Amino acid sequence: MSVLAATSSPSDPAELRLNLTVIGAGTWGSALARLVQLNGHHVRLWSRDCLAMADPMTLADAVLGAEIVLSAVSMKGVTSVAQQLQQISLPADAILVTATKGLDPKTTRSPSQIFQQAFPDHAIAVLSGPNLSVEIAQGLPAATVIASKNKLAAETVQRLLSSDHFRVYTSLDPLGAELGGTLKNVVAIAVGVCDGLNLGTNAKSALITRALPEVIRVGMRLGAADVETFYGLSGLGDMLATCSSHLSRNYRVGYGLAQGKTLEQILKEIKGTAEGVNTADVLMAIADREQIAVPIAREVDRLLKGKITPLQAVEALMERDLKPEARNL
């Protein structure tokens, strides 16, 4: 019996134990693996470091018998992971989950689009929400969204991850959930600049409020199914978390730039991937191609490329033409 058929109407859901493989052993991947393990499921955690061990475990070994494969690698590793998985005989009903927030610089595709192209017959799900990995690892309460066009797949992963301190909601809009979580990283850089320049709460609130329709414009043009997705946990919720915490690498990029540090220096200090840096560049390619107005993201991109100073970025936004507030999506 397939995992989807088995989990759609189990005789005793509490007794159902699934096999999960998490690809990517960073803070996020490890935190998710721990959540699932505490729920009593069997978990394998794999990264490239596994190949260097005395008893190396290949990716093929790691996904053997897996009913759910969750990728938590950085954006630059997504295409490679998809290609490697194509060389492996995955079970036909295995659910592929992506927990990566970013855009591919070569194709401008999102992680779920890359996996869906590689595995057209598999259920693809997106995990996205206000989930700072350090807090998840500490067991602090949080909520998230698992989104998939396959309702049973979303519900299966929902049961896999849900606990008394990690609440999981389902959605049928994977691209919307994914883009909300991806594009807010660019906004977080802008908010970091705002705080780094000590511009105050009024300015920060205005920036976040105006950034939301910008994200919605992009998301809906690229094929998100429901505008309401961007007002939920994977959109506004994720934006608020990332824009208000020093735990956010993207926020720290903006804050550091406002303090006069170079981008290279900041990226060395944060010791991790700030996906918003790459996303800003890819977003400009998309916005130019699709003729989408993204004034906040455009100033962030110019700042990251050293074309303007943080103060000039703020001035450019404040000096834009006067207009009604109503959103034009």
Which CATH number fits the domain that encloses residue 207? 1.10.1040.10
Assess whether 102 and 188 both reside in one domain. no
Q: Is 252 annotated as a binding residue?
A: no
Q: What is the token pair recorded at 50?
A: 């596994």
202 lies in some domain: yes
Domain residues for 184? Answer: 176-318
Assess whether 131 and 213 both reside in one domain. no
Question: CB of 181 within 8 A of CB of 230?
Answer: no
Q: Report the SS3 class of residue 202.
A: helix
The rounded distance, in Å, linking the Cα atoms of 257 and 253 is: 6
Assess whether 64 and 33 both reside in one domain. yes
Q: What is the token pair recorded at 326?
A: 């109503």
pLDDT band for position 122 (cuts 50, 70, 90): very high
Q: Is 29 annotated as a binding residue?
A: yes
Assess whether 168 and 67 both reside in one domain. yes
Q: Is 46 annotated as a binding residue?
A: no
Residue 328 is predicted with a pLDDT of: 54
Question: CB of 24 within 8 A of CB of 47?
Answer: yes
Assess whether 86 and 161 both reside in one domain. yes
Residue 157 is predicted with a pLDDT of: 98
324 lies in some domain: no
Summarised one tens digit per residue, pLDDT across range 11-61 is 444 457 999 999 999 999 999 999 999 999 999 999 988 877 777 899 999
Assess whether 180 and 167 both reside in one domain. no
Judged against a pLDDT cut of 50, whether residue 187 lies above it is answered with yes
Where residue 85 sits, what CATH number does that domain have?
3.40.50.720
Question: CB of 4 within 8 A of CB of 93?
Answer: yes
Amino acid (1-letter code) at residue 60: A
User: What number is the average pLDDT over the span 270-293?
Assistant: 95
Assess whether 74 and 33 both reside in one domain. yes
User: What number is the average pLDDT over the span 179-187?
Assistant: 97
Averaged confidence pLDDT in the chain: 92
Residue 3 is predicted with a pLDDT of: 60
Assess whether 286 and 303 both reside in one domain. yes
Q: DSSP character for 67?
A: S
Query: Which residues make beta-bridge pairs with 20?
Result: 43, 68
Q: Is 238 annotated as a binding residue?
A: yes
Assess whether 195 and 285 both reside in one domain. yes
Question: Catalytic: which of 106, 149, 151, 184?
Answer: 184
What's the total number of domains in the chain?
2
Q: 275-290 and 174-196 are packed helices; what angle lies between their axes, rounded to 10 degrees?
A: 110
Q: DSSP character for 40?
A: T
Assess whether 79 and 127 both reside in one domain. yes
Active site annotation includes 76: no
120 CB-near residues (< 8 Å, 6+ apart): none
Last-in-domain residue among 137, 172, 207 = 172
User: What number is the average pLDDT over the span 205-211?
Assistant: 95
CA torsion 127-71-66-87 (nearest 10°) is: 140
